[in-house]
Amino acid sequence: MSDIIKCPEGVELDLVTYLTSPSKGIDTRVAARGFQVMVPLKTEIDVKAFVEANGLSKFADDWRVMTRDEIKEYKATENEE
């Protein structure tokens, strides 16, 4: 499988998923860190399953992934803090 990415010694990959709940006004990110091997990802994630697996359903029920523009804005706000 040529699609598998194997990191060289001293390199790891981090995955960050950015979520927003419009009704609650909550923005958050969930990071999975330290991958040494990566396989291709789907073009869309199952947001409901992701939210459940990460314990976020108790905070809101309308989570969705952020758009690229929303992520950019989130990062800018995060850097200001």
DSSP string, 35-75: ESEE-PPPSS--HHHHHHHTT-TTT-S--EEPPHHHHHHHH
pLDDT beyond 80 at 75: yes
pLDDT in tens, 5-56: 999 999 999 999 999 999 999 999 999 999 999 998 888 999 999 999 999 9
Its pTM stands at 0.86
Domain that holds residue 34: 5-80
| Three-class DSSP category at 12 | coil
Q: Which residues contact 62 (CB under 8 A, 6 or more apart)?
A: 21, 22, 23, 24
pLDDT class of 77 with cuts at 50, 70, 90: confident
The domain tally of the chain equals: 1
* Comparison of pLDDT for 77 and 30, the residue scoring more: 30
